[in-house]
Amino acid sequence: MCLILVGWQVHPAYPLVVAANRDEFHARPTASAAFWEEDARVFGGRDLEAGGTWLGATRDGRFAAVTNVREPGAVKGKRSRGELTARFLLDQQAAQTYAEALTPGDYSGFNLLLADRETLVYASNRDPGYRSLPPGVYGLSNHRLDTPWPKLLKARENFSRALDRLPDEAAFFELLADRSIETDDRLPDTGVPLAWERLLSAVFVQSPDYGTRASTLLLRNAAGDMVLYEKSFAADGSETQSSRISTAV
């Protein structure tokens, strides 16, 4: 997952709004968003290689998502980052309690967002500790929370505008579909070759081997009902599947 935008307690009808793009190698096996067989309270996509998830939620209004930290050449962690989110969703602990018990040294660089009904928590093993976030709009890519990379700043601004158009979801998918590449003078220097910096500067990443695999919108309304919209994409950037999951009775 390479871009997550969160509106936390800023919309009167939707206290949690999440829009996200998951970027990954196209060869990595993936299951689209669905309720999980081992626990029907949990829903989201699944990484079929390591068993975790990049983004998921529960029927009772909890949410978790993870991004990697871009650090070329770093030693690989012993455990998959996707288990950080999956375990939170399955264990049903409070967000702060779960964050306090993390063993961050077991994983490659990660950024983690966890929410229960009362609290939104950000945790990272590259920004030690965790913190509960006040109401606001947040952006997360492959560095620390709200690192001002051009694509994050642009997407976060468009996300804030899209909040005013809820419950219409079209504006969120429009911002997640932005394939424009930043000019070289605006690119961050994250240690990857210039061609990759250019490719990864787009909100929607598209290349034959690596790119945006899924775009997701997650909403929790004031009553606690959750709805997740997901679109999946092929290597050429074409949409291959769309789905909607709702917990409303």
Give the integer Cα–Cα distance in Å for 122 and 120. 7
- pLDDT, one tens digit per residue, over 67-79 is 999 989 888 889 9
Q: Is 110 exposed, middle or buried (0-12, 13-18, 19+ CB in 10 A)?
A: buried
In contact, 133 and 8? CB cutoff 8 Å: yes
Distance of CA 224 to the CA centre of its chain: 20
pTM summary value: 0.96
Sheet arrangement for strand 226-233: 136-140, 3-8, 16-25, 210-220, 226-233, 239-246
User: Which pLDDT score, from 0 to 100, does residue 1 have?
Assistant: 59
Give the integer Cα–Cα distance in Å for 225 and 122. 23
- pLDDT, one tens digit per residue, over 99-143 is 999 988 899 999 999 999 999 999 999 988 899 999 999 999 999
Structural domain spans, the chain = 3-246
User: Which pLDDT score, from 0 to 100, does residue 73 have?
Assistant: 83
Give the integer Cα–Cα distance in Å for 84 and 82. 5
Q: Which CATH number fits domain 3-246: 3.40.50.620, 3.40.50.150, 3.40.50.300, 3.60.60.10?
A: 3.60.60.10
Q: How many Cβ atoms from other residues are within 10 Å of residue 147's Cβ?
A: 16
Residues of the chain with pLDDT under 50: none
